[in-house]
Structure 1
Amino acid sequence: MLLLHTSDWHVGRTFHGRSLLADQEAVLLRLAEMVRERQVDLVLVAGDLYDRAVPSPEAVQVVTRGLEAIRGAGATVVVTSGNHDSAARLGAFTSFLAAGGLHLRTSLTRVAEPVLIEDDHGPVAVYPLPYLEPEIARQAWNLTGPPSHQAAMDHAMAQVRADLAGRSGVRSVVLAHAFVTGATAGGSERSIAVGGVESVGADVFDGIDFVALGHLHGAQAVRETVRYSGSPLAYSFGESHQRKSVSLVELSADGRVTVEIAPLPVPRALAVVRGSLEEILSGHEELREHYLSVELTDKVRPLEPMRKLQQVFPHTLTIAWDPVEVAVPRAHRAPSAGALSGDDALIEQFLAECRGDRASAAERALIGGALAAQRRGEMTG
């Protein structure tokens, strides 16, 4: 049986104010093409289809079209909810959709109820575990002790194993949305820490043939059979180095897995560029269509850098000023000998702090004249 593992679509997320809906839909349609080309039997979506609990109508339409395309390409689809999703909303019409090959599992009460998929070698039991919010899980399952991710996952997997024990010769797959010890965060995930501990040990999944994880946005293997697919798009400039992908998992008759990492298209690449404004504007032709994060090293803070950059690089999104050499120390200090005094000194220091250079003689004269006029007005008023 050939499985395609994906997660963390975060449909509806914006990137520094830019809508990503078109990019997200393009990637989801590529997943459908991959299903058709590779004759994928089962698509596993391990949570966070949406970026927020109440997605916009446009986001819902993108997800709907994506799932319809994947299902239409011939694969059965199993989906579980993540910490960004509303389990109740995502799980609506579950039974009705299952009849059409789309299995949504978002309820804690069904963690031990597998989706059974048949191939030539017999059944595969797929257990979709929704995101287990520790306090909700503790109350739902009457767990003792303080709420924790580990306790919730231990209890859920105990139920899975109890069900598996009654199924002879069944291969097993688990979907889980969690931070598993040994994995590395990508930087754009929302923390799920409870009491300072947000991770669960990988040992909790021992004995399962394949574990499809969601939550972390970088593709990685905690173990050969315990994997994160990562998000299909980069959602922070810290992820600009990542090559986004999905996992194609061949599940053999005896439960052994062979994993292939299949790269995904990049609708618009991300890049971080550093240098002076002049250097950046006069070079980097290859970055004109990238989303850009710019670090300016000019000695003096440039005027209107965003406007100038976007004339050449229209997808510049963030700018930071980090001069290599600052003419005036940025830390507050007492005025040096000959410096203006009183209000004049404060204004001059403010200019130095903002742009990294002292006021010119003409600017000092303008400051002095403006303050003198203010004082005369106060005296005559």
Structure 2
Amino acid sequence: MRILHTSDWHIGRSFHGHSTLDALRRVLDGLVSEVRQRAVDLVIVAGDVFDSAMPAADCYRLLTDMLTGIREAGARVVVTSGNHDSPARLGFQAPLLREGIHVATDPSAVGTPITLDDEHGPVHIYPIPYLEPALVRHLWPEETLRTHEQVVRHAMRLINDDRAARGGRSVAIAHIFAAGVEATPQLEREVRQSLTQGTLDVVPVADLEGPDYIALGHIHGRAQLSDRVRYAGAPLHYSFGEADKPRGAWLVELDAEGLAATDWIDFAVPRPLVTLDGTIEELLSAPEYDAHADSWVCAVLTDRTAPLEPMRRLRQRFPFCATIERRPDGDADERAASYRDRVGRGTPDPQIVDGFLRHVRRGEAATDDEARIIADVVAAHGAEVAR
């Protein structure tokens, strides 16, 4: 059996205020072409199909077109819900879907497989929708389920018990943060928040023992935790922190004994992402940046003083400049101490004003003309107070 493992489509996500629907459609159309050309038997989408719990109508249209396209290309589809998805909205039409398209969002069905057959016999597919402990622990009241790790461990126990009874080959699908994988900076909002709060719920890879292959979602970069445990990542770049991560899917081969081979399939990126550093004049004039005229650009400006209208000027050269960051040269040294620390009690008033200008200008002091004006204003204020 030939399986294409993908995940984290995030239909409906924006990129710095720009819709990604058209770009995602192009990438997923390429996925459908791969399914047809490589005679794929099954496509797995391991969670975060939508980017929000309340997707717009255009998002449903894209999902419908892709599921229909995959099915018409000759493959079956198993889709699970992720933490971004609303299980009710994603799965509301599951009973009405055509034969061969399965949307698994019901946690009570964990441990009950979707069974497909090939020339070697049955292959049992065990979907695990995203399991929020507080929302699912009532299903298994005899278990202690306070963390995501405990819930996933219980789900895998149900799966392995069923596997032992049925026999045959098996694949599990889960949307989790597994130990041993590194999250890309600016990648997962939930992962970043959990890291800062110290509540990140990591699932040990040892808890994923049993099936011949584990198709994971949740992390946007490709990752291999073992020969049989892998992340496919997202099909599209959704942040500049992902720019160096390849986009694609895993092609998984099962033979009569189980996992036989895994190969990576690259997807074409509709528009590359690049981060450019320098002063605004360097970014506007340096010839080496000509190659990025059609790229999504994150401009990191190193000017000591904030330039006027930087986005308007940059977009004259880079029409797809998406965001600007300011990191003036020497900024870390200048701002290591707070403004209050550097202009403490007893500092003369003109020096306080000059210190403030240095603070907001990233180290640039007042000019001679500005210094004279400051002295005049401070003197006039002092004379007014003394009256």
| TM more than 0.5 | yes
1:294 pairs with 2:293: no
In the alignment, is the contact (CA less than 8 A) between 2:251 and 2:262 conserved in 1? yes
Once the two structures are superposed, residues 243-264 of structure 1 have per-residue CA deviations (whole angstroms, 9 ceiling, x without a partner) of 1110001111111230000001
- Residues 346 and 316 from structure 1, CA distance in 2 versus in 1: closer, same or farther, beyond 3 angstroms? farther
Residue of structure 2 in register with 1:172 after alignment:
170
SS of equivalent to 1:64: helix
Structure 1 residue 369 displacement after superposition? 7.1
Residues 24-39 of structure 1 aligned to structure 2 (within 5 Å): 24-39=24-39
In the alignment, is the contact (CA less than 8 A) between 1:299 and 1:327 conserved in 2? no
Hey, what's the Cα distance between the residues in 1 that align with 2:138 and 2:156?
Answer: 17
Report percent identity of matched pairs. Answer: 41
1:352 pairs with 2:358: yes
- Residues 201 and 309 from structure 1, CA distance in 2 versus in 1: closer, same or farther, beyond 3 angstroms? same
Residues 152-301 of structure 1 aligned to structure 2 (within 5 Å): 152-168=151-167, 170-187=168-185, 188-191=187-190, 193=194, 196-283=199-286, 284-301=289-306
Deviates more, 1:354-363 or 1:9-18: 354-363
Hey, what's the Cα distance between the residues in 2 that align with 1:40 and 1:216?
Answer: 24
Structure 1 residue runs of 5 or longer lacking an equivalent are none
Deviates more, 1:323-332 or 1:298-307: 323-332
Structure 1 residue 321 displacement after superposition? 2.0
SS of equivalent to 2:304: coil
Once the two structures are superposed, residues 280-305 of structure 1 have per-residue CA deviations (whole angstroms, 9 ceiling, x without a partner) of 11120111111111212223332222
Residue of structure 1 in register with 2:316 after alignment:
311
Hey, what's the Cα distance between the residues in 2 that align with 1:326 and 1:122?
Answer: 64
* Letter aligned with residue 227 of structure 1: R
Residues 321-340 of structure 1 aligned to structure 2 (within 5 Å): 321-325=326-330, 329-330=334-335, 331=337, 332=339, 333-334=342-343
* Letter aligned with residue 26 of structure 1: R
In the alignment, is the contact (CA less than 8 A) between 2:248 and 2:267 conserved in 1? yes
- Residues 81 and 71 from structure 1, CA distance in 2 versus in 1: closer, same or farther, beyond 3 angstroms? same
In the alignment, is the contact (CA less than 8 A) between 2:343 and 2:352 conserved in 1? no
In the alignment, is the contact (CA less than 8 A) between 1:121 and 1:253 conserved in 2? yes
Structure 1 residue 17 displacement after superposition? 1.2
Structure 1 residue 235 displacement after superposition? 1.6
SS of equivalent to 1:253: coil
What CA RMSD, in Å, does the superposition of the two structures yield over aligned residues? 2.7
More helix by share: 2
Partner residue of 1:362 out of 355, 369, 373: 369
1:111 pairs with 2:110: yes
Hey, what's the Cα distance between the residues in 2 that align with 1:233 and 1:6?
Answer: 11
- Residues 328 and 206 from structure 1, CA distance in 2 versus in 1: closer, same or farther, beyond 3 angstroms? closer
Residue of structure 2 in register with 1:149 after alignment:
148
Hey, what's the Cα distance between the residues in 2 that align with 1:146 and 1:5?
Answer: 29
Hey, what's the Cα distance between the residues in 2 that align with 1:93 and 1:299?
Answer: 56
SS of equivalent to 2:370: helix
- Residues 325 and 202 from structure 1, CA distance in 2 versus in 1: closer, same or farther, beyond 3 angstroms? closer
- Residues 239 and 328 from structure 1, CA distance in 2 versus in 1: closer, same or farther, beyond 3 angstroms? closer
Deviates more, 1:148-157 or 1:195-204: 195-204
In the alignment, is the contact (CA less than 8 A) between 2:5 and 2:45 conserved in 1? yes
| TM-score of the two chains, using structure 1 as the length reference | 0.90
| TM-score of the two chains, using structure 2 as the length reference | 0.89
Once the two structures are superposed, residues 94-146 of structure 1 have per-residue CA deviations (whole angstroms, 9 ceiling, x without a partner) of 2221x432100001111122111111111111011101112222222115446
Hey, what's the Cα distance between the residues in 2 that align with 1:38 and 1:58?
Answer: 29
